[in-house]
Amino acid sequence: MPLVNIYKTDWFKVLCDISRAGFSLQAIAYELDVAASTLIGWKQGASPRHHTGEALIDIWMNVTGRDRSELPRVVCKRAFIHKPLCIVSPHSEK
């Protein structure tokens, strides 16, 4: 049984990288149209909504000059795969 790592974006590191580049949490919050307290929640483990997270990733890439493939990630779960996934496409022939 193979062990699979499931990753999630490390929002704490993303925000720290942007802050180290000279942007305050207030400035980041303004750009994302969220409250600064929301960013504090993300630094403490919460996750942004998809569209807001994508905007934050865009800011991170522009500020750091790094590619999306270098986005900070953490393993949030390790799972054994007991059997291969059987994904049926709605367009597959029967």
* Cβ contacts of 39 within 8 Å, gap of 6 or more: 15, 25, 28, 29, 32
pLDDT at 93 over 60: no
Q: Against a cut of 0.85, is the pTM above it?
A: no
d(CA 41, CA 63): 21
d(CA 37, CA 26): 9
What tens digit of pLDDT does each residue of 8-19 get?
999 999 999 999
CA 55 to chain centre: 10
